[in-house]
C-alpha cells in the first residue's frame, strides 16, 4: 500500500531539515568556512543584544526573585556571615561606597604585574554560562573595542580563559576550567621548570595537569604559569593555577596533578583581555 | 503549517528565546539553568504533528545556536529530531488532557539533553559528556514539565490547531 502523501511530505521535510542541519554544522566546523558562521553569529548578537539588554533590565527583578527563591537557604547563611564581616570592618575602617569598590577592582586589573607592557582591554562580565555544557562568560567588549578571537583573558589573580567568539560589541570567553580548554604550563618561574598541559575537566571539577615527567619535583601548593612555548595559545608568565594533589601514572612514567585556578572564577565581575594573538 | 501561522509561530519562538536569554539564565538550580528551547518543538509536535514539530524545532534551535559557542546547527538538528519524535510518538492520541503533555515534556527534554550531549561529543566537543548530565536532565525536564501546558496552549493558538485534528488523521486510516 502506498504511503499517504502527507506521510511522504513529513518524511521529506524532516530529511531535508536534518541534511541542512548537518550542512550548517559542517560549514561551522570547517576551518576554511568557519568565518562565515562566526560572522552570522556576530551579526545576530549585534542585532539581538540591545533588545536582550533592554528586556533584561526590565525583567531583572523577576530573575532576582526566582534566583533568590531557589537559593534562599544559602543566601541566608551567607547574609549572616557578611553582616558579621561588615560589623568588623566598620570598627576597623570607614565604610566605602559600592562605586569605590568597583573602581578598585578595575584599578587592580590595570596593575597586574605579570602583564608587563602588554596592552589590555578591561571589560565587565554580562552573562555567565550561556550553555549548560560550556564553562564560559560573556563580556561587554568586542571587536569594536579591540578584542579579537583567541586573545587571552586574565582576572585579578591570574589566567581566566580565552576569547572564543568576538562579536562587534561583546565576546564569549571560554574559561580554563571548560572541558575543551588546554593550557601549556610550566611549573615554577625558573627557566628550566618542567612543562605540562593543563586540561579543563568541566564545571565543578579541578583541572588536570598531564604529561608531567615523573622526575619532576612537584608538590602540593606549587604554582603553574603559562609556558609561552612556540605555538602556545597564551604568552609566557601568566599565573594559572596551584597544585592541590598529585598522582603517579600506572607505569610510573609521568605524574598527573590536580590543579585549582588562581583566579577566582566565581567572582569575575571585571576581566582584562590581553591584546596578544597566538602565532598559530 | 500555513503561511498565516508562520509569523505567529515566529513571534512565539522569539519570545521564548528572549525569556531563555534573560530570566532563564538568572534561574539556577544546582548550577544548572533551564533550557526553554526544547518546549517549542515538544509543543508543536503535540499540537500539530511531526512535520510542524520538526520545522519549529529546527528554527528555534537555529535561533539558539546563533548565541552559543557550541557548533552552529547542533541545537537545530536536535530540535528537529525532537519535534518529529514527539509528533510521531503522540500521533493519534488525544492532546486535550494535561498528562500527555507533561509526559512528553519530561521524556522529550530528557532525550534532547542526552542527544545534544552525545552529538556534541561526536562533533568534537567531548566536554559535553563531562558535565553532570543527571542534574542537567533533572532541571531541564522538571522546568519544562511545569511550563509545557501554557506553551502548548500558546502554540495551539499560534498554529491555529485544534486538539481533535489528530483524530481526523486516525479516521482516514493514514499511518506515519
Specify burial of residue A87 (Cβ count, 10 A radius: 0-12, 13-18, 19+): exposed
Q: Are B54 and B87 in contact (CB under 8 A)?
A: yes
**CATH T-level topology, domain A117-280:** Thrombin, subunit H (2.40.10)
* B169 in any annotated domain: no
- Report pTM: 0.76
Q: Are A167 and A145 in contact (CB under 8 A)?
A: no
Measure in Å the smallest separation between the Cα of B62 and chain A Cα atoms: 9
Q: How many residues does chain A have?
A: 280
Q: Bridge partners of A195?
A: A186
* B117 in any annotated domain: yes
The C-alpha atoms of residue A246 and residue A259 are separated, in whole angstroms, by: 9
Specify burial of residue A57 (Cβ count, 10 A radius: 0-12, 13-18, 19+): exposed
Domain boundaries in chain A? 117-280
Distance of CA A146 to the CA centre of its chain: 18
Q: Are A155 and A268 in contact (CB under 8 A)?
A: yes
* B168 in any annotated domain: no
Compare all CA atoms of chain A with the CA of B82 and give the residue at the minimum distance.
Answer: A14
* B122 in any annotated domain: yes
* B166 in any annotated domain: no
Would you tell me which residues 115-154 of chain B have a C-beta closer than 8 angstroms to some C-beta of chain A?
Answer: 116-117, 120, 123-128, 130-132, 136, 140
* B167 in any annotated domain: no
User: By mean pLDDT, which of A141-145, A244-248, B93-97, B145-149 is the weakest?
Assistant: B93-97
Mean confidence (pLDDT) of chain A: 80
Domain of B101: which CATH number?
1.10.1760.20
ipTM: 0.83
* B85 in any annotated domain: yes
DSSP strand pairing (A239-248 vs A223-226): antiparallel
pLDDT band at B87 (very low <50, low <70, confident <90, very high): very high
Split into its structural domains, chain B has a count of: 1
Q: What range defines the domain where residue B155 resides? A: 5-160
For the stretch A21-69, pLDDT in tens is 999 999 888 877 777 888 888 888 888 877 887 887 777 776 666 666 6
Q: Are B50 and B76 in contact (CB under 8 A)?
A: no
* B165 in any annotated domain: no
User: By mean pLDDT, which of A39-48, A85-94, A125-134, B75-84 is the weakest?
Assistant: A85-94
For the stretch B14-69, pLDDT in tens is 999 988 888 888 788 888 889 999 999 999 999 999 999 999 999 999 999 988 88
Between helix B50-65 and helix B5-19 the angle, nearest 10°, is 40
Name the one residue in this structure whose C-alpha cell is 615554577: A188
Of residues A9, A128, A180, nearest to B125 (C-beta): A180
Amino acid at each position: 500500500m502506498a504511503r499517504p502523501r502527507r506521510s511522504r511530505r513529513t518524511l521529506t521535510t524532516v530529511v531535508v531539515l536534518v541534511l541542512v542541519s548537518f550542512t550548517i554544522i559542517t560549514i561551522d566546523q570547517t576551518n576554511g568556512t568557519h568565518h562565515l558562521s562566526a560572522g552570522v553569529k556576530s551579526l545576530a548578537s549585534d542585532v539581538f543584544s540591545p533588545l536582550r539588554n533592554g528586556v533584561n533590565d526590565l525583567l531583572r527583578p523577576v530573575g532576582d526573585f526566582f534566583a533568590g527563591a531557589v537559593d534562599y537557604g544559602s543566601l541566608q547563611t551567607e547574609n549572616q556571615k557578611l553582616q558579621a564581616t561588615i560589623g568588623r570592618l566598620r570598627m576597623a575602617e570607614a565604610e566605602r561606597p559600592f562605586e569605590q569598590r568597583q573602581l578598585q577592582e578595575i584599578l587592580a586589573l590595570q596593575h597586574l604585574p605579570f602583564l608587563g607592557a602588554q596592552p589590555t582591554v578591561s571589560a565587565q562580565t554580562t552573562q555567565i554560562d550561556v550553555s549548560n555544557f560550556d564553562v564560559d562568560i560573556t563580556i561587554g567588549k568586542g571587536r569594536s573595542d579591540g578584542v579579537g578571537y583567541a586573545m587571552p583573558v586574565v582576572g585579578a589573580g591570574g589566567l581566566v580563559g580565552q576569547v572564543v567568539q568576538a562579536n562587534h560589541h561583546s565576546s564569549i570567553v571560554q574559561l580554563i576550567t571548560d572541558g575543551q580548554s588546554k593550557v601549556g604550563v610550566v611549573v615554577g618561574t625558573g627557566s628550566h621548570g618542567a612543562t605540562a598541559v593543563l586540561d579543563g575537566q568541566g564545571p565543578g571539577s579541578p583541572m588536570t595537569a598531564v604529561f608531567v615527567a615523573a622526575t619532576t619535583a612537584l608538590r602540593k601548593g606549587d604554582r603553574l604559569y603559562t609556558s609561552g612555548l612556540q605555538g602556545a595559545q597564551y604568552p609566557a608568565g601568566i599565573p594559572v593555577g596551584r597544585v592541590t594533589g598529585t598522582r603517579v601514572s600506572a607505569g610510573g612514567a609521568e605524574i598527573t596533578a590536580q590543579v585549582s585556578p588562581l583566579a577566582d572564577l566565581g567572582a569575575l565581575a571585571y576581566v582584562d583581555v590581553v591584546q596578544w594573538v597566538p602565532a598559530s | 503549517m500555513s503561511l498565516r501561522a508562520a509569523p505567529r509561530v515566529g513571534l512565539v519562538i522569539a519570545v521564548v528565546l528572549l525569556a531563555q536569554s534573560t530570566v532563564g539564565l538568572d534561574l539556577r538550580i544546582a548550577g544548572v539553568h533551564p533550557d526553554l528551547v526544547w518546549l517549542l518543538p515538544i509543543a508543536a509536535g503535540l499540537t500539530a504533528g511531526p512535520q510542524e514539530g520538526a520545522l519549529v524545532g529546527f528554527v528555534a534551535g537555529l535561533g539558539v545556536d546563533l548565541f552559543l559557542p557550541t557548533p552552529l546547527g547542533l541545537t537545530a538538528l536536535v530540535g528537529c529530531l525532537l519535534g518529529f519524535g514527539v509528533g510521531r510518538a503522540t500521533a493519534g492520541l488525544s492532546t486535550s488532557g494535561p498528562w500527555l503533555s507533561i509526559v512528553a515534556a519530561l521524556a522529550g527534554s530528557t532525550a534532547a539533553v542526552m542527544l545534544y550531549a552525545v552529538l556534541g561529543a561526536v562533533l568534537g566537543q567531548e566536554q559535553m559528556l563531562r558535565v553532570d548530565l543527571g542534574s542537567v536532565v533533572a532541571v531541564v525536564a522538571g522546568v519544562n514539565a511545569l511550563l509545557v501546558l501554557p506553551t502548548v496552549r500558546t502554540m495551539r493558538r499560534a498554529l491555529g490547531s485544534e486538539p481533535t485534528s489528530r483524530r481526523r488523521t486516525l479516521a482516514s486510516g493514514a499511518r506515519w
